[in-house]
Amino acid sequence: MERFVSMRRENRDRFHEETLDPEDWESMRELGHRMLNDMIEYMKNVRERPVWQHASNQVKSHFNRPLPIDPQPPKQIYEEFVKYVLPYPLGNIHPRFWGWALGTGTVFGAFAELLAGSMNTNTGGGGHHSAVHVEKQVIDWIKEMLKFPASASGVLTSGCSAANLIGLTVARNTKAGIDLRRKGLREMPHKMTLYASQEIHSSIQKAVEIIGLGSEALHLVPVNDDFQIDLQELKATISRDRKEGATPFCVVGAAGTINTGSIDDLNGLTEICQKESLWLHVDGAFGAWAALDPFARKKVSGIERADSLALDLHKWMYMPYEIGCVLVQNEEYHRKAFSLTPKYLAHGEGGRGITGNDLPWFSDYDFLLSRRFRALKAWMSLKLHGSRKYGRLIQQNIEQAHYLAEQVNTQPELELSAPVPLNIVCFRYVPPDMDEAALNELNKKIVVELHEQGATVISGTIIKDKYVLRAANVNHRSRREDFDILLREVISTGKKLTIAHE
Amino acid sequence: MERFVSMRRENRDRFHEETLDPEDWESMRELGHRMLNDMIEYMKNVRERPVWQHASNQVKSHFNRPLPIDPQPPKQIYEEFVKYVLPYPLGNIHPRFWGWALGTGTVFGAFAELLAGSMNTNTGGGGHHSAVHVEKQVIDWIKEMLKFPASASGVLTSGCSAANLIGLTVARNTKAGIDLRRKGLREMPHKMTLYASQEIHSSIQKAVEIIGLGSEALHLVPVNDDFQIDLQELKATISRDRKEGATPFCVVGAAGTINTGSIDDLNGLTEICQKESLWLHVDGAFGAWAALDPFARKKVSGIERADSLALDLHKWMYMPYEIGCVLVQNEEYHRKAFSLTPKYLAHGEGGRGITGNDLPWFSDYDFLLSRRFRALKAWMSLKLHGSRKYGRLIQQNIEQAHYLAEQVNTQPELELSAPVPLNIVCFRYVPPDMDEAALNELNKKIVVELHEQGATVISGTIIKDKYVLRAANVNHRSRREDFDILLREVISTGKKLTIAHE
């Protein structure tokens, strides 16, 4: 087999071995300490900065450079970061950011990212190493918090989009009735259909499209006045589809819709699914964590009976991006949908060597093989705060949302646009004598102007054909006074824009 | 709308607002500096530790605890980390780890994780913030390094599994001929088939299963003596499938197979795909980066013509987990497969506010909405080292693999099992007078014993029905002497096991 190695002998001897480790460890260490100090200050003083601000054209053009060919001193790179990156964040760690549903993160969580990045462990395969123990522990704790049985399987994901994709893939494969992994959807004798409310998150549609069902397979059912899926309509739709020859296989419940934070009647959905032999997947991105608040807990009653549950830990558990989780009631279904063991990934037998098979290989439950040590920040954070404090913070966010809603109700220029069952408040600015089209335009402009002013950030959405302002509160840094500022800003911005408009 | 806010008034007034920010910033800062020092030492002294070691039962039982209800002091948590987590890694940052194809990471990369975790930016949506500029810049640089046209689209992913999933979804949707996102695969008039060599990575099969094609749609074509896809066989298979009524739509080329590191003839594949109107997706997990080595560059010639290209930056670009990328030649096809804009994610118009539409929304090219600031470590690392140094390191890894292969050839007890086109060496221990079954068993045991001894870590695979030892070198810390140690350990372990066996 001499030919195997003949290729490049001529080059070899002139070869000087090098590494990407620092040449000067001490100055790298110093730089690290400087970064750490700066980051502490950055997080500590976030309240003193604008929530968001425009990057100048100079900043923008800094990121339009040719590929760096030669090395640059680390200190200089860090200074560029401080000048061009750090001052122009999206703003979601700020106490007055309530746009979309974005997490705030914590100091200890950021530290955990340094530790995980230093260990640089891959948790995709290989049973025997500490990161696998930590991930298993974190999943056990999540099951405990959400009252899932200990026998359920789970895997940490980048977030809820990935968790929904996994949950729906398990549902599809389990309910197909044919060997779908081998045969594919074209071999299905009937069209597989699934159901969710019109308020369901877009990641469900995206997952349905990716896994090949097509968005037409996703039947969106109307909601009641509380923005929950209408159970009678759901039953009627399923029954109609069956008559038309489709194969209903899954209902997706929402625990915390993105528009209003409403939670479907999960016990009602469980009963329907059991009766109809359907899989119940729950998208619990943030809302699942209402389970930790003794007052809100009853709203997610039944969540522990879902066949699969997707949720985030970087939203309402306040951990840094990315961390989500999917739990599957039946471990075997989960594993059967994702386990694939080629020769080069053979799991060892018994407890010897790295590949011993007495611990889970998370790649058997995930579509990823390269998986960072995201469990560490969850393990450290849950220990630091304890589940009770998380419960109190979630309760606090809900209380603050109700406070905001009450304040909206006291202002004649403002109008509440939807119920506030959880932590999301939809409202709008309604000056007298303005038609609906103009109100929509005005409120759209208010969102953008608020961004530009930088004191508060909210986003907008459409509720019953009306464009509304929307504050989603998963922010552990917000105080009541921050919501007062929000309303003050909305009203003054609304006034200013109305005058400009007249 | 009074009823909207009536729910919990009774609880509100007893409410004391709190936060997850540290109560004592100074002691948290001190702890951070201690962590940073420890991590520097951990990375600096990695060579002095075993590559891998067993966690004791005491360690294991530490991760089998009930949910923490109450807070625990941060220092104590960190000390648990130091005692129970840090000493038991998978081992992939060690200079003598060559198992599977796992990345080594860098110090600066770990620092970047601290910065990204502190900023905690979400890059899923929202155009106007620095992380979007950084990600765009990094993708531009990746295109530049791989000679992709500037007009191509791209998105950073968790790794190649996600990148393959995205690439194949775009291929499927673009080539279907029907509106697949809406209609789903069951409406396809013909079975869609795709092609790859028998050596293709399992993530391709996993993606094919997830996207609903079924693994039977993936036709595995034999390889030639260099473990490259056999182009004649490929053409014959496509033609046979067409005659049988299937719709071939895609060929997946390998740039660096996982077993041997072989690279398919990418120009040959491009020609076939153009002639047959097929999509060419290239899985370039680590091998794509051969493009940076002036000597190996020609092996990946043609990669810039792929319709889509998936690759990792946490393997052969040595960055910390997770970071991969998918490039798509035609931006419109990419966006059409993934863009989905519900009301609450409406992109703004013009340059005002966060949601201005003059910058990409990466969620339009990805299945994730929650996306951490993974671009930062790539931006910082590429600037720190410069592309030329990456090229030298990649060259060094290839040279080292050839050195290892040569040394294998000088040892009568060892046998090279496959060509070494890149950075992977497959070989086995072959004492005289042993049949194939016994050789397989013996070499399997060698892998496990090497793990147990902790001096080196390699994994195993099967090449032409023989179980072989496999060293995959994407390690910037390895030196030639480390490979000498590997062979010494393999031979002594082989001898020991053979004697024990007799």
Q: What is the DSSP string of A205-234?
A: HHHHHHTTS-GGGEEEEPB-TTS-B-HHHH
**Chain B partners of A183 at a C-beta cutoff of 8 Å?**
214, 216
Let me know whether B184 and B241 are in one domain. yes
pTM of the model: 0.96
CATH number at residue B491: 3.90.1150.170
**Local confidence band at A10 (pLDDT 50, 70, 90 cut-offs):** very low
Cβ of A15 within 8 Å of Cβ of B64? The answer is no
CB contact under 8 A, B212 and A184: yes
- Residue A345 pLDDT grade (very low, low, confident, very high; cuts 50, 70, 90): confident
Boundaries of domain holding B424: 24-52+89-104+387-502
Distances in Å between the alpha carbon of B471 and those of A61, B163, B260? 43, 25, 9
- Same domain for A345 and A404, yes or no, is no
What is the pLDDT averaged over residues B370-386?
97
Answer whether B388 touches A (CB < 8 Å): yes
Q: Across the interface, do A141 and B383 touch by the CB < 8 Å criterion?
A: no
| Share of residues in chain A with pLDDT > 90 (%) | 89
Output B396 or A5, whichever has higher pLDDT.
B396
The chain A residue lying nearest B313, using CA atoms, is A370
Residue A270 located in a structural domain: yes
Choose among A318, A472, A411, A371: nearest CA to A135. Answer: A371
Tell me: do A335 and A430 sit in the same domain. Answer: no
Cα A127 from Cα B392, distance rounded (Å): 33
Which token pair is B155? 């998105």
Q: Is residue B67 part of a domain?
A: no
Give the list of residues 6+ apart from residue B492 with CB closer than 8 angstroms, or none.
none
Q: Do B354 and A91 touch (CB under 8 A)?
A: yes
The residue among A15 and B240 whose pLDDT is bigger is B240
B386 in reach of chain A (CB within 8 A): yes
Do B329 and B397 belong together in one domain?
no
Asked if the C-beta of A5 comes within 8 angstroms of chain B's C-beta atoms, the answer is yes
**B398 token code pair:** 């290839």
**Is residue B14 less than 8 Å (CB to CB) from chain A?**
no
What CATH number does residue A348 fall under? 3.40.640.10
Q: Do A204 and A307 sit in the same domain of this protein? A: yes
- Compare CB distances from A420 to B4, B183, B207 and report the shortest one's residue: B4
Both A236 and A330 in one domain: the answer is yes
Write out pLDDT tens, residues A373-429: 999 999 999 999 999 999 999 999 999 999 999 999 999 999 999 999 999 999 999
Looking at the structure, do residues B37 and B125 belong to the same domain, yes or no? no
CA nearest to B211 within chain A: A211
Are both B360 and B274 inside the same structural domain? yes
Does residue A53 lie in a domain region?
no
pLDDT of residue A15: 54
| Nearest alpha-carbon partner for A363 in A157, A184, A175 | A157
Residue-wise pLDDT for A295-317, tens only, equals 999 999 999 999 999 999 999 99
- Give the rounded percent of residues in chain B with a pLDDT score beyond 90: 89
Give the residue-averaged pLDDT of B141-152.
98
Closest approach of chain B CAs to the CA of A149, in angstroms?
14
Task: Tell me the nearest-neighbour CA distance from B127 into chain A, angstroms.
Answer: 9
Q: Which of B323, B345, B372 is the last residue of a domain?
A: B372
Cβ-contact B124, B373 below 8 angstroms: no
**Sorting pLDDT into bands at 50, 70 and 90, what band is B229?**
very high
Nearest to A343 among B22, B28, B462 (CB): B462
| Residue A228 placed within a domain | yes
Helices (H) and strands (E) in chain B, counts: 15, 11
Contact A371 B158 (CB under 8 A): yes
Of the pLDDT bands very low, low, confident and very high (cuts 50, 70, 90), residue B3 is very low
Gap between the Cα atoms of A67 and A90, Å rounded: 25
Q: Is the pLDDT of residue B54 over 80?
A: yes
Q: Does residue A63 fall inside a structural domain?
A: no
Segment holding B247, helix H or strand E: strand B247-254
- Name the phi and psi angles at B271, rounded to 5: -60, -45
Tell me how crowded residue B496 is: count the other CB atoms within 10 A of its CB: 13
pLDDT of residue A351: 76
Task: Answer whether residue B10 shows pLDDT above 60.
Answer: no
* B328 falls within a domain: yes
Please tell me whether residues A156 and A294 are part of one structural domain: yes
**Tens digits of residue pLDDT in B166-222:** 999 999 999 999 999 999 999 999 999 999 999 999 999 999 999 999 999 999 999
Q: Is A28 domain-assigned?
A: no
Domain boundary among A345, A372, A399: A372
The reply to whether B295 touches chain A by the CB within 8 Å rule is yes
* Residue B335 touches partner A, C-beta closer than 8 Å: no
What is the per-residue pLDDT across B101-138, written as a single tens digit (0 to 9) for each?
999 999 999 999 999 999 999 998 767 899 999 999 99
ipTM value, please give it: 0.96
The pLDDT assigned to B87 comes to 97
Find the CB nearest B185 among A29, A116, A186.
A186
- From CA B166, how far away is CA B169, in angstroms rounded? 5
B416 & B491 share domain: yes
> So what's the pLDDT on residue B15?
54
Number of domains in chain A: 2
Residue B377 lies in a domain: no
Given a cut of 50, whether residue B7 has pLDDT beyond it is no
Mean pLDDT of B392-401: 98
Q: What is the mean pLDDT of residues A325-333?
A: 98
Q: B39 touching A, CB under 8 A?
A: yes
Q: Tell the residue number behind the tokens 């020991």, with chain if given.
A: B496
| Among candidate residues B301, B309, B261, the one with its CA nearest the CA of residue B281 | B309
Q: Pick from B372, B402, B431: which residue ends a domain?
A: B372
Number of alpha carbons in the 13 Å side-chain half-sphere of residue B16 = 1
User: Contact B370/A158, CB-based, under 8 Å?
Assistant: yes
Question: What is the arithmetic mean of pLDDT over A197-213?
Answer: 98
Q: Does A434 contact B at CB distance below 8 Å?
A: no
> Quick check: bond before B322 cis, omega within 30?
yes
What pLDDT is recorded for position A348? 74
Tell whether A422 and A335 lie within a shared domain: no
- Are residues A19 and B476, on separate chains, in Cβ contact within 8 Å? yes
pLDDT per residue as tens digits for the range A441-494 = 999 999 999 999 999 999 999 999 999 999 999 999 999 999 999 999 999 999
Residue A279, φ and ψ in degrees, nearest 5: -80, 135
> Which residue in chain B has the smallest CA separation from A68?
B386
CB within 8 Å: B185 and A181? no
Beta bridge partners, B469, equal: B427, B460
The reply to whether B451 and B348 lie within a common domain is no
**Identity at B484, one-letter amino acid code:** D
pLDDT per residue over A59-88, tens digit each?
889 999 999 999 999 999 999 999 999 999
Q: What pLDDT is recorded for position A156? A: 98
